[in-house]
Amino acid sequence: MKHVYEALNWASSFLREAGRDENAGELLLRHHLKMGRATLLSNLRLVLSDEQQQAFKSHVLKHAEGIPVQYLIGYEEFYGRKFNVNEEVLIPRPETEELVEGILQRTVHHFHGSEKLQVVDVGTGSGAIAITLALENSRFDVTAIDIAEESLRIAKQNGEELGARVRWLHGDLLAPIAMDSEMKKIDILVSNPPYIPDEEIETLSPVVKDHEPMRALAGGKDGLDFYRRLIHDMQALLNPTALIAFEIGAGQGQDVKSLLEQALPLAKVEIVFDINGKDRMVYALVGDSPR
């Protein structure tokens, strides 16, 4: 396993036999060599040092055991930026980038003018959604909430490193907002809450089930517990003109849409499918668009 190409071939074969993603070897080797993909592929005959070989092999073996690559290398890319991750936060997914993009697009059409918009991200985890929104639209005054102090530490670190201005609050769902008399009402509410039904938890890949935080996965008997609570609690906190954006589990679109329509009969509620053709996002536009 002296050369880059030999290391890649070994890792691909080993991980395939272990039932893991064989492409993970390339990500791990790029991390250890501090190379982009193009640079790595143009240096296939580069000789690895003993230390590089040992470190790389150790990570490949750990991934074969089920530890996510992102936890091994300590980060995941999201919307073109690197976010620190560890076992206290859910690893950001590409589908969530689509949720963020949907918010940015709908903001242009639903909120006219240039004044600040109060954005609240519930269950922020690594802070990927909150930080990205803060950096992508200067109108956004972003508040992010999480029930776990351990998650907030990672989120705050990411915010500082990426230069995002976000207000970080510790608490259960919208409780910190409801208890803060100084907090302005919400223009945009976004959440990617736990949505896996209890009976499906055991069917998840061990890479997810055994390593990512259960509090970020389990959504109750039918997976909808957190949507019910958020929709109930948000009604007194929304501005007359508002946008609600939820990421959902595949197959939950109609149920979440119905919950929103029951609570907000005049809202325009829309189910949006992700790039893989699965219902993945639900948006609700509340009120006219005077701003």
| pLDDT at residue 211, rounded to an integer | 75
| pLDDT at residue 163, rounded to an integer | 98
Tokens of 90: 């859910």
Are 198 and 220 in contact by the 8 Å Cβ rule? The answer is: yes
| pLDDT at residue 289, rounded to an integer | 58
| pLDDT at residue 173, rounded to an integer | 95
Give the C-alpha separation, 260 to 239, whole Å: 16
Q: Which residues of the chain have pLDDT under 50?
A: 290-291
Give 284's strand partners: 244, 269
Instruction: Write down the pTM of the prediction.
Output: 0.91
Sign of CA dihedral 62, 70, 145, 225: negative
Q: Can you say whether residue 76 is alpha, beta or left, with left for phi > 0 and alpha for psi between -120 and 50 degrees?
A: beta
